[in-house]
Structure 1
Amino acid sequence: MSGILMMVLIFVVFYFFMIRPQQKRQKEIKKQRENMQPGDKVVTSGGIYGKIREIKEDNTVIIEIAENVRIKVDKSSVFLSLQDAQQGQQK
């Protein structure tokens, strides 16, 4: 009986220290992607820095990485808004 109780306790601790923070982070990233707007400075998951120029209906984003140099990327690969990152560091 104590073995089962110990397993349940380990699972609860594992949930609150591993799974729950990851779910919270995923919700933050989803909210951030939904709130992206043209003009936001971002970093892609590949490490490319740029500014959003256009958000298309087909779940893609046009990012300007240099003057007159634009790339089309999937919205899910836009990893981080630099404005959000700076606000997070100031807190």
Structure 2
Amino acid sequence: MEQIQSFLPILLLVAVMYLFLIRPQMKKAKQEKQFTAQLKKGDKVITNGGLHGRVLELNDDGTCIIECGAGKIKFERSAISMERTAKLNAPLIEKK
């Protein structure tokens, strides 16, 4: 019984770490993977570096071609920011 009580704080710490660190990180990774899989031609996107553009082409090797003010640039799909793109495409809410 004493052995169980001595391991209880360690087990509790592992459970808390899983609930607050590992699980949310896994959920976010799954959402980002789903976001990149749902990209389509014509979507307005923002890269992690802050480049604004429109998707012209999606390749099978995990890359995409984005048209921006400077021309056409090839990026990895993972370089597209899910959060920034969602904010860009969110409808504007009018304040009353």
TM bucket, shorter chain: 0.7 to 0.9
Match of 1:40 in 2: 43
Q: Which of structure 1's runs of 4+ aligned residues deviate more than 6 A?
A: none
Q: Which runs of 5+ in 2 are unaligned?
A: none
Q: 1:37 deviation in Å?
A: 0.3
* Cα-to-partner distance string for 1:23-60 (whole Å, 9 max, x where unaligned): 00000000000000011111112221211111112221
TM-score, structure 1 normalization: 0.82
Instruction: Report the residue type matching 2:42 in the other structure.
Output: G
By relative contact order (CA 8 Å, sep 6+), the higher-ranking structure is 1
Q: Give the distance between the partners of 1:22 and 1:63, measured in 2 at CA.
A: 28
Unaligned runs of 5+ in 1: none
Matched pairs, number: 86
- Higher Rg of the two aligned structures: 2
**TM-score by structure 2 length?**
0.78
Cα distance in structure 2, aligned partners of 1:64 and 1:17: 39
**Higher strand residue share:** 1
Q: Which of residues 55, 69, 90 is equivalent to 2:58?
A: 55
